Every structure is written in structure tokens, then in C-alpha cells.
Amino acid sequence: MDKLIITGGNRLEGTLPISGAKNSALTLLPCALLTDEPVTLRNLPRLADIDGFQHLMTQFGVSHSIAGKRPEDFGRVVTLEATRITSTVAPYDLVRKMRASVLVLGPLLARAGEATVSLPGGCAIGNRPINLHLDALEALGAQIEVAQGYVKANAPDGGLPGGDFDFPLVSVGATENALMTAVLCNGTSRIGNAAREPEIVDLCNLLVAMGAEIEGIGSSDLTVHGVKRLNGATYKVMPDRIEAGSYACAAAITGGNVLLEGAKADDMLATNHALRNIGVAVTEEKGGLRICADGPLKPTNLSTAPFPGLATDMQAQFMSLLCRAEGTSVLTETIFENRYMHVPELRRMGADIEVSGRTAIVRGVERLTGAEVMATDLRASMSLVIAGLAAEGETQVRRIYHLDRGYERLEEKLSLVGAQIERVGDE
């Protein structure tokens, strides 16, 4: 098992390319199940989660071909083709490895009229039930049965009629599943209190390119007029706003000056607002977003929230950054109940953090020191890397397979802007 060795203290400076968005790509991939024509995705990041999802897609008879295989390239071009659905079963062995696998439920049901998908396994950061997915599909006309660890969904004879559903809570994944189902329903569907994340907009834009009819894109009230069939399309995955925000925190904690090449400010408004509040300059440029931190960091109070609020996926990275602020900050996690598992590891590096329920009090310290630390989930892993970049001495981050799920060739990108970081085998 690999680990990262980071020697802290280097100021990050230069240009760092931002990859295609993991959270968007995992939603765009199952769209290939909705048509018998090829769907080509450009700027698809090279990540363990993406590879795992493509492997799941082969279970249903989806073929894929990869262009741009040069190892020095960031991202790649993948064409998926589901000429015929050969299976509508997503088995436990494949689904348990990645919660996003539940996103095949809607497309399989819409295209084939049936789907049997394993219930996803547990999640380290908290409880993530799929009841909202199932409630939404039932509102669109699906017959749902949960038995022996599987969701079995069927469309009535003649296909799904469509319907109206208002989410009692905002859910990104459930909104995505509902959208991918509604586009092939016989009638018009309305999805209320829908998630508004940029990744939802990216999904809508691909579906429209495939011939779907969707009104209200970017709002919390979506109207979908079902169509008989969808065509193929070629589509570029949006830049990863969480990756960009993560590297912005890395630049800021080192007092750096980094151009995040390809980052889009409109997708990162809450992140950029938080950065500016603590004294970091964030400037839009033609090629992306420039992050410059040449003074002391100020404390702040932050609370995670659904878009357009601060993404829960940025909480851990901001916590590391605020460990070096001059004063006391307060972080409140409103989305997941167990997303402070990085706190004990940051304390090993000299951080002063106190947790009470969903609130973390972060008192800035004069210095962080390198230590051996262990990653517990994807974003927690990145928080340890960020802390390590600013820490005195050497930091070893273990269990970095979490990082490989969501950060394309992280050590290469950080090395481009001056970080002293390497991946080695963990004995």
C-alpha cells in the first residue's frame, strides 16, 4: 500500500491544471444507459472511482473505448455504447465499493423497464440512505420492492407515466436519479426542491444534448417533458470545483501564488467568498482562477450547506487552512454527522481543535509539525496533505487509496507548483 511523504515549508507557485469533476463524471457515465447510440465524454479524470464505475457499466453490456491514452495527459476521452442492455442487475460485489453505483437504478429502469440494484454499503462520513431515490422513482410511476439487500424496480406495462415529486430534503444523488428516469417517461414530470449543484447543471446539459427536454435548469424546480428516445452526444465534463478549492487551500496555507488552470469562479462562489474572508486574494483570469496569499490568515466562521452554500466536501480542507489563522474559527458541519474524523490526525500535527457535536472550534497555531498520519476518507485525506505542505519537517500520509478516488495524480500536480512530495510503497 502506497503512502505520501511530504516535506513542508515550500511556497507553492506556478500553474496547476484542474481536472474534470469526479462528482459530475460519476453522474454522466450512467447516461450512456439511456441510449443505444455512443456517448463520448471528454475531460474524464483518471480516478479509481471512474474506473470502478466503468467496470460496473460493463455488467450491463456497455462497451467503452479510450482515446488520449498518453500517460502524461491529464484526463482522457471515453466513448461508451449501450447498443443493447444485456443485464439489469447491479450486484453487491460491484456496488459496495462505491455509493455512486446507485445512479444506475434510474437509467436502467427508464430504458429497460426494470432494474435490480444492490443497496450500497456503509459510508465512513455518515448515514446516507437512499429512501429519497426510491420515493422519487415511485412518484414517477415505478413499482419498488426492497428485499434481501436489493432494490427491485419495475415500470408498469407501457412504461413509466411520470409524475410530480417534492424532495423533503435536498439530495444531489436522488435529484440525479430522478432526472435520468424522468427524461424517458411517457409524460411530463416536475421535480421540486431539487438540488442546484453545478454537477446537476452539468447532467442536465448532457441530457439536453442527448435530446431531453428539461426546463428550469439551475433552479430548484425542474420540469421534464419525457421523450421516446435519446440520441448519443459528445460532451466535456465540467472542471472539478472541489479539486480547485482543495488546491486553493493548499496554495493559501503556504503563502503561495498559484493559477488554477481551468477552474470556473461561478462554480466556486462560496469557496471563494470564504477564502477572501480569511485574507486570500482570489482573482479571475482568462486561463482560470489565481490564488494569492501574501499576508496573515484571518479566522472566520463557516457552515456547510447545499449549493450555493459551502460544500461539505470543502470542510476538511478549510479546517486545515484555519489551523494557521491568527485567531479562533468555528466550523459547523450540517450535511453529514461523522465528518470530523481528520481531527485526531491534525492534532497529531499540532493543531488545536475542539469538537462538540457538529461544531468544531479551530484555534490557530504558530506552527504545525510533520507526523505520521492516516487518511480516513477522500476529503479528510486532502486535509492532511494540505497541513503537511505547511508543517515543519516530514509528514507521512498513509492509506492514500482514498486520495486516488478523487484527485487525479495529486503528487504530480503539487510538484508542478513547487511542493516536495512523493509517493512511495508503504512497507
Q: Which residues are catalytic?
A: 123
Question: What sections of 268-377 are H helices per DSSP?
Answer: 269-277, 315-322, 343-348
DSSP per residue, 209-232: HTT-EEESTTSSEEEEE--S----
Distance CA 290, CA 217 (A): 29
Task: Please give the torsion angle defined by the CA atoms of residues 185, 187, 190 and 194, in that order, rounded to the nearest 10 degrees.
Answer: 10
**Residue 361 annotated as lining a ligand binding site:** no
Instruction: Give burial (CB, 10 Å; 0-12/13-18/19+) of 147.
Output: exposed
**Residue 99 annotated as lining a ligand binding site:** yes
In order of 68, 69, 170, 194, the CA distances from 42 in angstroms are 10, 12, 29, 26
In order of 77, 128, 146, 155, 201, the CA distances from 166 in angstroms are 36, 19, 22, 20, 18
**Nearest CA among 421, 7, 414, 391 for reference residue 251:** 414
Residues 177 and 115: beta-carbon distance below 8 Å: no
Q: Which residue shows C-alpha cell 457499466? A: 57
- How many residues are present in the chain? 427
**Residue 313 annotated as lining a ligand binding site:** yes
Q: How many other C-beta atoms can be found within 10 angstroms of the C-beta atom of residue 118? A: 19
**Residue 335 annotated as lining a ligand binding site:** yes
Detail the residues annotated as belonging to a binding site.
Answer: 22-23, 99, 313, 335
Detail the residues annotated as belonging to a binding site for phosphoenolpyruvate.
Answer: 22-23
Detail the residues annotated as belonging to a binding site for UDP-N-acetyl-alpha-D-glucosamine.
Answer: 99, 313, 335
